[in-house]
A and B are shown apart, each in its own frame.
Chain A
C-alpha cells in the first residue's frame, strides 16, 4: 500500500521549527465520546439475543431504537457489527466478538458499583434531620425523632441549624429534612405539617407562697419566641398585663437562674421540664392553654432520597395523631 502523506503543523512543531506531524489522511480519529453505556448495553443484548426485537424487549425499548443505536455504533467504530440472515437472525462479526469480549471488564466494574449502591441502600442511608436547638427541646420533636428512628433502611442523625440558616442547610446538603416553624418556598421545597407545639403558662413563684388559681393581674407577662416566631398575641388570655416578647435564650437563662426573674412573672412558653418549685406550670392548677405554634417538615423537591415523600407522609400522620 502506498502511503499518502499529508503534512500538518502542530502547535509544538510550529513554534519549535521541528519536524511537523505526518498524518495518514486515510485514518480518521473515532468519535468515541459519543459511545455511552446505553449503546454498549444495547450491543451486549443484541449479541446475546442475536435479534434486535428481543434485545429491545429485554431493555424495554423498541426494535427501531436498538437498531438506531447499533447503526450509531457501527458509524463510530466504522465496522459492521452483525450480519443479518434471511430469517432476520443476526450473526456477530469478528469485530463484535472482540468487542463483546472486551466488555467483560467494564461490565464487572459496573456490577461492583451496583452491589455497592445496593449495600448502601440496604444498610441504611443517613438522614440528616435538623432543627433549631429550641425546637429540639420540645417534646413533640423528640417524639417525632423517636418514631422516625423506627423506619427501616434509614439511619438518623441530628444537626442543629438555626431557622435563618434552614434554606442554606437544605440546599447545601448539610441536612435532608428541616423541622421548625420555617416554611420553604413551595417551588423549591416540599413542606408538610409536623404538628403543633403547645404553649404553657409558667409562673415564677416561691414555693412557700400560696398560688392563685387565676392568672396573676400584676407583674410582667412574657411570650417566648420559637425560631423567632411567637403565637398570635390576640389569642393570648387577657390577664390585664401587656404581653412582651422574650427570646428563647433569656427564657433558658431564667430557667437555670430563676432568682434573676421577678416573682409573679408570667411566662408563656413551649412546654419544657423545669424546676416545679421555681416555675409552676399552670396545668398543675387545672388551666390548659389553647395556644400553639405550627411546626413544619421541609425537604428539597429534588432531593435524591426517593423515600423522603413517604417519610413526609409518616410525619403528617404523626402530626394528625
Chain B
C-alpha cells in the first residue's frame, strides 16, 4: 500500500478544519479544483471515501473521522523532523535563533553597540509576534532562545528553563484623565475593570490575561467583559491615550514606558499581594545540549542585566 504524502495530509486536515473545499483552498492559497484533486487522490490511496460532499459543505465519513488523529500525528512529526533538522543545521553552522518581545529593544541596542563582536555564534533575532506560541516553538526546536515576560510563573517548567533578568511586583494601571476620572487615594481597582481594559499581547506576558480574568471573577465577582489585546506595548499605550480603555500592564511599566510623561494617569497596584509576579527573562530548552546556545544564554544574561 502506498502511504499518503504530506501535501495530501495537509489538504485533508485543512478541509477538516475549514469544513468546505473553497475555504480550504483559500486557506492553503490554492484553487478549489486542486483541493478536490488532492482529496480524490488521498481517497484513492487509502481506498475508502473520506467525505460526503453536500452543497452546504463537506461531512466526514466515519472512516474519515477515525483518520484525523493519525494524520495529525504524522503532520506534527513531519514538522518536528524538519524543525530538528533546521536545529542541527544551526548547530553545525554555529547559528542561534532568538525571539524577543518588543521591550527588549532598548537593552539590545545597548549591547549591540558595545559587545556585539564577543559572541562566538551568529544570532538571528526576530521580534516575537503577538500570536506566537513561543512555548511550543521552543519545545519543537523552531527557536533556540526566547526573551519575554511571564506572569506568576506561567510557562515555567514544562521542559523550559528560565533565566530571570528582572522580577517586578504587582501591575500597572494607566488611564487618560481626559476620559477617566479615577480616584487614586485610595485606588479602587473595581472602577478600572468596569471599563474596557487594554492588555499587552499574550506572548509578551504569558499568564497575565488568565490571571486577570480569574482575579476579577474571584475577588470582585466581576467578569471582565471587554478586553482589547494589543500587539505591542506602544500600541497599547496609544489605545489608552485615545481613551479606548484602561491600560493594565504586568509589573512596573511606568518608567519603562514613560507613562506620566505622556500625560497618563497611572498607579502601581497590588505591590504587596503580588510580589515578584512578573518575570522578564531568557527562556530556553531545559535539555538543551548545544554549547553555543548555552553560552549565548549566559552572554545574553550578562549583557541584558548590565543594560
Contacts and interface: CB of A to CB of B under 8 A. Distances in A.
A124 to B, nearest CB: 11
Contact of A40 (B48, B81, B116): B81
A257 interface: no
A86 B6 CA distance: 36
Contacts of B108: 19, 22
A114 B1 contact: yes
A235 interface: no
A93 to B, nearest CB: 9
Contacts of A3: 112, 116-117, 119, 122-123
B109 A19 contact: yes
B195 interface: no
A304 to B, nearest CB: 4
B294 interface: no
Given A112-B70, A116-B66, A2 B116 contact: yes
Given A1-B122, A22-B125, A113 B74 contact: yes
Contacts of B116: 2-3, 5
Contacts of B66: 116, 120
A320 B5 CA distance: 42
- The dominant DSSP class at the B interface is helix
Nearest to A95: B88
Interface stretch (A96-104, A212-220, A238-246): A96-104
Contacts, number: 180
Interface string B58-85: 0001110011001101101110111111
Contacts of A109: 70, 73-74, 76-77
Interface in A285-315: 302-306
Interface residues of B, number: 70
B18 interface: no
A103 B122 CA distance: 28
A49 interface: no
A12 B127 contact: yes
Contact of B95 (A5, A17, A26, A108): A26
B49 interface: yes
Contacts of A273: none
Nearest to B45: A304
Interface stretch (B208-216, B229-237, B279-287): B229-237
Contacts of A125: 47-48, 63
B27 to A, nearest CB: 15
Interface in A164-179: 171-174, 176
A26 B3 CA distance: 37
Contacts of B83: 32
Contacts of A58: none
B226 to A, nearest CB: 22
Nearest to B237: A16
9 contacts: A13-B232, A18-B233, A22-B125, A23-B125, A27-B90, A37-B78, A103-B81, A105-B77, A106-B77
